[in-house]
Amino acid sequence: MMVVSLEGLSKSYGSRLAVDDVSFDVGQREVMGLLGPNGSGKTTILRILTGCLSPSAGTVRVAGFDVVQEGRAARRRIGYVPEDAPLYPQMRVNEFLAFMGRLRGLDGKKLQQSVGLARERLGLNDVAETIVGRLSRGYRQRVCLAQALLHEPDLLVLDEPTNGLDPRQIIEFRDLVRGLADQCSIVVTSHILTEIARLADRVAILLGGRLLAVRPVKASTSVRVRVPMDIAPAIVSALRTATEAGAEIVEEPQTDGLACWRVRMAEPEGLSQLVARLGAAGIGVVELSETGTDLEETFLAVTSRKAVH
């Protein structure tokens, strides 16, 4: 059964259409990324999904419950981390988590256990009695994520979760979210392609409120290798030896008298390994440049075309 099902979803504010006939599904334990520039309708879709807004047309179901007709039942199955992680600054972390747990119907021992587990999972034990307003941005993001997990939701909704985090916090938060994908489905928005590429299994690309495409995300990166013509015959076998199994090697047109290949690797970190291995094999490379992820290429290709329904 699909955890999220959007069918013909539209939302208008007066005469302005913010979301236009969007349909997609999210399966169990799947991470779906909503990708698009600012104003593309990502946050509006999330607000409809979480019951904060009602749709103008179409239906949205979460765990089989219509978010309009059976709103409370649907919202019981959702954990939501809004953009900028809004919290009550005067509350202590424990107090805030207990309050949010009670809003989701938890009480007594079950509430204590859930709060303890969420604190443990997100590394909040050290700040349990700290006033929320004094926490760093990274900790506030964790507290907001913790409140969304208290009731073990079927669906976790994250709106621009890494906004404002420093690089270390982004990596930590990404690892946390990837870990959670084993327990629930996740819908995450971002306008940063690399973040979505590292988090999502599939991505829905939005532009101007319209769904342009839904594509699987392959965690890969492409590298362009340019070498002098005289060593060109040896390069293919050398590349196969130097790259990991499964790497895709495609010959590209010659430019400036140099032979050129594109090597697509599953691991983004493969570039540095390739350089080291080619060097060890004694191959002189003129140019070796990262050309971006599959998602970047997909995004550029899709957004250059008109939306299709």
Question: In the Cβ-directed half-sphere of 253, how many Cα atoms lie within 13 Å?
Answer: 2
Of how many residues is the chain composed?
A: 309
Closer CB to another protein, 104 or 198, in the complex: 104
173 binds another protein (CB under 8 A): no
31 makes contact with another protein (CB under 8 A):
no
CA–CA distance, 279 with 16 (Å, rounded to integer)? 57
CB atoms within 10 A of CB 100: 24
- For another protein, which stretch binds (CB under 8 A), given 23-31, 74-82, 112-120, 277-285? 74-82
246: buried, middle or exposed (CB in 10 Å: 19+, 13-18, 0-12)? exposed
- CA proximity to 243, closest of 230, 219, 228, 225: 225
Q: Per rule CB under 8 A, is residue 87 in the interface with another protein? A: yes
Q: Is 53 in the site for another protein (CB under 8 A)?
A: yes
By beta-carbon proximity to another protein, the closer residue of 89 and 279 is 89
- Give the single-character DSSP code of 49: H
Report, in Å, the least distance between residue 53 CB and another protein: 6
Which of the ranges 69-77, 163-171, 184-192, 282-290 carries the binding residues for another protein, by CB under 8 A? 69-77
Sign of the dihedral through C-alpha 7, 56, 53, 75: negative
Range in contact with another protein (rule: CB under 8 A) among 50-58, 191-199, 252-260, 272-280: 50-58
Cβ–Cβ under 8 Å, residues 187 and 29: no
Q: Measured from the CB of residue 148, what is the shortest distance to another protein in angstroms?
A: 9
Stretch that binds another protein, among 23-31, 33-41, 101-109, 226-234 (CB under 8 A): 101-109
Of the candidate residues 5, 44, 141, 147, the single one contacting another protein (CB under 8 A): 147
Q: Is residue 103 a contact residue for another protein (CB under 8 A)?
A: yes
Distances (CA, A) of 301 to 188, 198, 258, 297: 22, 20, 27, 6
Q: Tell me if 76 contacts another protein by CB under 8 A.
A: yes
Please report, as ranges, the residues that interact with another protein according to CB under 8 A: 47, 50-54, 71-72, 75-76, 78, 80, 82-84, 86-88, 90-91, 99-100, 102-105, 107, 147, 157
